[in-house]
C-alpha cells in the first residue's frame, strides 16, 4: 500500500500565489494554473475548456523574489508554451510573461497576476453576480478524517465514522443520509485510513469520499418566470466559479404566472409538465456550469433556489392553485429544506436544496433574496427597490419598516411578446441610441465589442432585441419626439426609418443588411404598448407603496433585474418607469435576486436573516385598492404628459 509520503515524493508541491486576491496554496508539479485557480477559489475565465482557443484565461507571471509571499517566481517555473498557445499569445500581441492558465503547468513557486479581463464575469446575460462581500458560513462543510484499522468492537462502519467525527472535530449528533451510507464502503476501500465526509448543518452526512479532498460546490439559482440564472460557487472559498443562464422552458405553457397557474391546475398533466420542465432546465444549467470546470453536477452538494411564489411552487411540484384566488395563500411559505433528488435534481445523490421563504401571495423567495442582497432594512435612507421581471416585485422601506407588492409587468421587458424580441443572448440588441435630429441609429449587439456604426453592416449580425434594448429604444424614440406622450407614433413626422408594419406605424431599428436573418428589425406600435403596460404596472406599484407608507418621495431607487445590460436608469426615468428621484441616487444593480440566492448559499446566518425578513415585510395588495384602474391608465402615458396620482403631490413637480 503506497504511503501518502511516497506520493508526496513523486509529486513535489510549489507555492502559488494569485494576485490581486492574494489566494495561495501548495500545489503539485504538473497541475495547470487553471486547475490551481479553481482549487484556490480564484475566479478565472475558461470558455474554451482548455483548448487554447479563447484566450480568456490569460494571466501574467511575475518575475523576482517576493519577500511578502516568501517565494521566488520566474517564467520558467511554468511549462514552456506549446505551439498553439504560442500562436494565440503572438496573435494577441500580449506582453512578456503572458500565459494561458489552461495550458501552463506548475514547475516551481509562482506569483501570478490575473488581469481584470480574465476574471470570471462570463455571462453575456447580465444575470452576473455582482462582486459583493459575502459572509462565508455555508450549510455544508467538509471534514477530513483519519481512521484507525477497523476492529469488531467498532460495531459498524457507520459508528467508526461518527466516532472519528466526534473525536477529531467535536461533532455530536450527526447522522448519515442514506446516499452517503451507500458511498461509505467504496470510500473506505479506496481511501483506507483517509476519508472526507461532507456534513450539512453539522447534522447530516450527505457524502463520503476517499482521501482528503473536500471540494464542495453549490449552485444558487434564480428561477424567473422567463429567465433562469445559475451561479456555481465554491462553498469552501466562496468563489464564484461559473455563471450560466437559460430560458425557463415553462414559457411554452404561458407567459406570465397567471397562465402558468391555469396550465398547472386545468391541464391533466399540466403541473407535472411545468415541474419537470423547469427541473430539466436546471439540470442542464448544472451540467453546463460544472462542465466549464471539467466537472459534472455530481460535484454539487448544496443549492439554493429562489423564485416568485408560482415558480417556487412549481419547482417543489406543489399545486399553485391557491395562489390564483383569494386569499392568495401559498401552500407553504417558510423556507423549505429538502433533498435535491426529491425535486428531480441530478446533483450529488445526497445534495440538499434550500428554498428561501416566500413573503406573500405573489411576492416570493426571489424578493427575499433581493432584500438579502440590497439590505434596505439596514439603512436609514428610504429605499425603493424595483425588481423588473415578468412578475415585478417592489419593496419600499428602511430599517423602520418594509412594504412589498407585486406588479403584473408581463414578459415584454424580458424580450417576449415583442415583435423582434428575444432573450438576452448573442445577437440581441441591448443598447440603442437615436439622434433626435437626424434619427440616425446606433446600437450594440450582445457578443460584439463595437457599436453598430463602427462596423460594416454585414459585421453587425443582429438577431433581435432584448429587454434592455427595448427600454432604451422606446425611451430614445420618446426623447426624439417620434413617439408622443400617449405612446402613439407622431403621424406628422416623415423619415425613411418611419415605416409601417402590419398596417401600423413602426420604426426601422436595424436594416436588413445589419441582421443575421436578412430581415429588418423594427419597433412596432404594439411593442410600444407592451412597454407602456409594463412600465405603468411597475410605476403604479411603486407609487402605491409610497402612498401606503405616506411618503412623497424616496431617498434611493434600486433597479434590479436580469434581462440584458444593466437597466439604463436615465432612460427608465424618461419612460416614467420609476418615480422621480435624484439620478445620483438611482442604482442599477443587475440580478439582485441571484446575488441574494448566492448569499444564502454561502451563509446560514443569512438564511436565518431571510426568514426574519420574510416575516417582517408587509404585503400591500394593489389590486384591492379602489382606484387602481384609473391610476394604471394614467400611468400608461410617458412622463410629464399627465400625473397618474393627481391626489398625491408628485415628488419632482412639487419641488
Q: By CB under 8 A, name the binding residues for a copy of itself.
A: 150-152, 154-160, 176, 178, 181-182, 184-186, 188-189, 316-319, 321-322, 326-334, 338, 342, 358, 360-361
Closer residue to a copy of itself in complex, CB, 88/303: 303
* Minimum gap (Å) between residue 551 Cβ and a copy of itself: 24
Dihedral of the CA atoms 3, 4, 8, 10 (nearest 10)? 40
Nearest alpha carbon to residue 249 among 223, 213, 287: 223
Q: Is the Cβ–Cβ distance between 346 and 303 less than 8 Å?
A: no
Measure the CA–CA gap between 106 and 78, rounded to whole angstroms: 5
Helix axes 365-374, 604-616, angle to 10 degrees: 110
Helix axes 592-602, 365-374, angle to 10 degrees: 80
Nearest alpha carbon to residue 428 among 438, 439, 420: 420
Alpha helices in 480-591 (DSSP H): 525-549, 569-575
Closer residue to a copy of itself in complex, CB, 337/440: 337
Closer residue to a copy of itself in complex, CB, 133/149: 149
Closer residue to a copy of itself in complex, CB, 131/148: 148
* Minimum gap (Å) between residue 202 Cβ and a copy of itself: 19
CA angle in degrees (0–180, nearest 5) for 214-216-218: 175
Measure the CA–CA gap between 215 and 354, rounded to whole angstroms: 20
* Minimum gap (Å) between residue 274 Cβ and a copy of itself: 14
Closer residue to a copy of itself in complex, CB, 282/506: 282
* Minimum gap (Å) between residue 320 Cβ and a copy of itself: 8
Coil, helix or strand for 94?
Answer: coil
Nearest alpha carbon to residue 581 among 591, 589, 572, 590: 572
Strand order in the sheet with 383-388: 586-590, 556-561, 383-388, 392-397, 402-407, 618-619
Closer residue to a copy of itself in complex, CB, 188/537: 188
* Minimum gap (Å) between residue 331 Cβ and a copy of itself: 5
Q: How many beta carbons lie within 10 A of that of residue 485, not counting itself?
A: 14
* Minimum gap (Å) between residue 154 Cβ and a copy of itself: 6
Residue 437 dihedral angles phi and psi, to the nearest 5°:
-90, -50
* Minimum gap (Å) between residue 363 Cβ and a copy of itself: 12
Closer residue to a copy of itself in complex, CB, 160/292: 160
CA angle in degrees (0–180, nearest 5) for 254-258-264: 70
* Minimum gap (Å) between residue 75 Cβ and a copy of itself: 46
Closer residue to a copy of itself in complex, CB, 319/643: 319
Nearest alpha carbon to residue 469 among 515, 412, 429, 416: 429
Closer residue to a copy of itself in complex, CB, 86/621: 621
Q: Is the Cβ–Cβ distance between 396 and 384 less than 8 Å?
A: yes
Counting Cβ atoms within 10 Å, is residue 97 exposed (0-12), middle (13-18) or buried (19+)? Answer: middle
Closer residue to a copy of itself in complex, CB, 66/328: 328
Closer residue to a copy of itself in complex, CB, 280/329: 329
Closer residue to a copy of itself in complex, CB, 275/423: 275
Measure the CA–CA gap between 611 and 516, rounded to whole angstroms: 48
Closer residue to a copy of itself in complex, CB, 154/643: 154
Q: Is the Cβ–Cβ distance between 196 and 144 less than 8 Å?
A: yes
Closer residue to a copy of itself in complex, CB, 336/506: 336
Bridge partners, 522 (sequence order): 508
* Minimum gap (Å) between residue 397 Cβ and a copy of itself: 20
Coil, helix or strand for 57?
Answer: coil
* Minimum gap (Å) between residue 358 Cβ and a copy of itself: 8
Q: How far apart, in Å, are the Cα atoms of 164 and each of 8, 89, 159, 172, 308?
A: 25, 51, 8, 10, 43
Q: Is the Cβ–Cβ distance between 110 and 55 less than 8 Å?
A: no
* Minimum gap (Å) between residue 342 Cβ and a copy of itself: 6
Q: Is the Cβ–Cβ distance between 465 and 509 less than 8 Å?
A: yes
Closer residue to a copy of itself in complex, CB, 158/484: 158
Measure the CA–CA gap between 26 and 160, rounded to whole angstroms: 31
Task: Compute CA 178 distance to the chain's CA centroid, rounded to the nearest angstrom.
Answer: 32
* Minimum gap (Å) between residue 507 Cβ and a copy of itself: 44
Distance between the two ends of the chain, CA-based, in angstroms?
A: 82
* Minimum gap (Å) between residue 505 Cβ and a copy of itself: 45
Radius of gyration of the CA atoms of the chain, in A: 27
* Minimum gap (Å) between residue 326 Cβ and a copy of itself: 8
* Minimum gap (Å) between residue 225 Cβ and a copy of itself: 20
Bridge partners, 623 (sequence order): none
Amino acid at each position: 500500500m503506497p504511503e501518502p509520503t511516497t506520493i508526496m515524493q513523486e509529486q513535489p508541491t510549489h507555492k502559488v500565489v494569485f494576485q490581486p486576491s492574494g489566494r495561495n496554496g501548495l500545489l503539485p508539479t504538473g497541475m495547470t494554473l487553471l486547475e490551481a485557480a479553481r482549487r484556490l477559489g480564484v475566479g478565472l475565465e475558461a470558455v474554451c475548456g482548455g483548448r487554447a482557443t479563447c484566450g480568456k484565461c490569460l494571466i501574467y507571471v511575475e518575475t523576482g523574489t517576493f519577500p511578502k509571499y516568501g517565494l521566488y517566481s520566474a517564467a520558467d517555473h511554468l511549462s514552456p508554451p506549446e505551439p498553439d498557445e504560442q500562436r494565440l499569445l503572438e496573435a494577441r500581441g500580449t506582453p512578456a510573461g503572458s500565459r494561458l492558465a489552461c495550458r501552463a503547468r506548475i514547475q516551481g513557486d509562482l506569483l501570478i497576476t490575473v488581469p481584470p479581463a480574465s476574471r470570471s464575469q462570463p455571462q453575456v446575460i447580465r444575470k452576473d453576480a455582482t462582486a459583493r462581500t459575502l459572509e462565508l458560513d455555508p450549510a455544508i462543510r467538509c471534514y477530513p478524517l483519519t481512521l484507525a484499522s477497523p476492529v469488531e468492537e467498532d460495531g459498524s462502519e457507520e459508528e467508526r465514522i461518527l466516532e472519528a467525527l466526534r473525536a477529531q472535530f467535536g461533532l455530536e449528533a450527526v447522522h448519515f443520509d442514506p446516499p452517503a451510507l451507500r458511498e461509505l464502503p467504496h470510500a473506505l476501500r479506496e481511501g483506507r485510513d483517509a476519508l472526507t465526509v461532507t456534513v450539512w448543518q453539522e447534522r447530516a452526512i450527505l457524502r463520503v469520499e476517499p482521501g482528503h479532498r473536500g471540494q464542495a460546490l453549490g449552485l444558487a439559482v434564480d428561477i424567473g418566470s422567463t429567465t433562469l440564472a445559475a451561479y456555481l460557487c465554491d462553498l469552501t472559498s466562496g468563489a464564484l466559479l461559473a455563471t450560466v443562464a437559460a430560458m425557463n422552458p415553462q414559457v411554452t405553457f404561458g407567459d406570465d404566472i397567471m397562465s402558468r397557474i391555469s396550465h398547472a391546475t386545468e391541464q391533466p398533466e399540466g403541473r407535472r409538465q411545468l415541474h419537470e420542465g423547469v427541473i430539466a432546465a436546471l439540470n442542464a444549467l448544472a451540467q453546463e456550469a460544472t462542465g466549464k470546470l471539467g466537472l459534472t453536477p455530481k460535484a454539487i452538494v448544496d443549492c439554493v433556489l429562489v423564485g416568485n411564489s408560482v415558480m417556487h411552487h412549481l419547482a417543489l411540484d406543489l399545486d399553485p392553485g391557491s395562489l390564483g384566488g383569494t386569499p392568495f395563500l401559498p401552500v407553504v411559505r417558510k423556507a423549505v429544506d429538502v433533498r435535491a433528488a426529491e425535486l428531480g435534481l441530478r446533483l450529488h445523490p445526497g445534495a440538499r436544496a434550500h428554498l428561501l421563504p416566500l413573503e406573500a401571495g405573489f411576492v416570493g423567495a426571489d424578493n427575499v433574496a433581493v432584500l438579502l442582497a440590497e439590505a434596505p432594512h439596514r439603512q436609514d435612507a428610504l429605499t425603493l427597490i424595483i425588481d423588473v421581471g415578468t412578475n415585478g416585485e417592489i419593496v419600499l422601506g428602511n430599517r423602520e419598516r418594509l412594504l412589498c407588492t407585486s406588479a403584473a409587468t408581463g414578459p415584454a421587458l424580458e424580450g417576449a411578446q415583442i415583435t423582434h424580441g428575444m432573450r438576452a443572448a448573442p445577437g440581441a440588441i441591448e443598447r440603442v441610441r437615436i439622434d433626435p435630429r437626424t434619427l440616425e441609429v446606433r446600437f450594440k449587439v450582445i457578443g460584439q465589442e463595437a457599436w453598430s456604426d463602427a462596423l460594416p453592416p454585414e459585421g453587425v449580425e443582429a438577431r433581435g432585441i432584448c429587454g434592455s434594448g427595448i427600454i432604451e429604444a422606446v425611451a430614445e424614440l420618446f426623447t426624439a419626439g417620434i413617439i408622443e406622450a400617449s405612446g402613439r407614433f407622431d403621424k406628422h413626422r416623415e423619415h425613411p426609418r418611419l415605416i409601417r408594419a402590419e398596417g401600423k406605424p413602426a420604426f426601422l431599428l436595424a436594416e436588413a443588411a445589419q441582421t443575421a436573418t436578412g430581415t429588418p428589425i423594427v419597433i412596432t406600435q404594439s411593442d410600444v404598448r407592451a412597454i407602456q403596460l409594463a412600465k405603468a404596472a411597475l410605476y403604479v406599484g411603486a407609487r402605491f407603496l409610497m402612498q401606503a407608507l405616506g411618503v412623497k418621495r424616496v431617498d434611493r431607487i434600486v433597479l434590479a433585474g436580469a434581462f440584458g445590460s444593466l437597466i439604463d436608469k436615465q432612460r427608465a426615468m424618461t419612460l416614467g418607469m420609476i418615480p422621480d428621484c435624484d439620478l445620483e441616487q438611482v442604482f442599477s444593480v443587475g440580478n439582485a435576486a441571484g446575488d441574494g440566492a448566492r448569499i444564502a448559499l454561502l451563509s446560514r446566518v443569512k438564511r436565518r436573516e431571510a426568514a426574519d425578513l420574510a416575516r417582517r415585510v408587509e404585503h400591500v395588495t394593489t389590486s384591492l385598492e379602489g382606484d387602481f384602474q384609473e391610476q394604471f391608465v394614467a400611468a400608461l402615458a410617458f412622463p410629464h404628459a399627465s400625473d397618474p396620482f393627481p391626489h398625491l403631490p408628485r415628488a419632482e413637480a412639487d419641488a
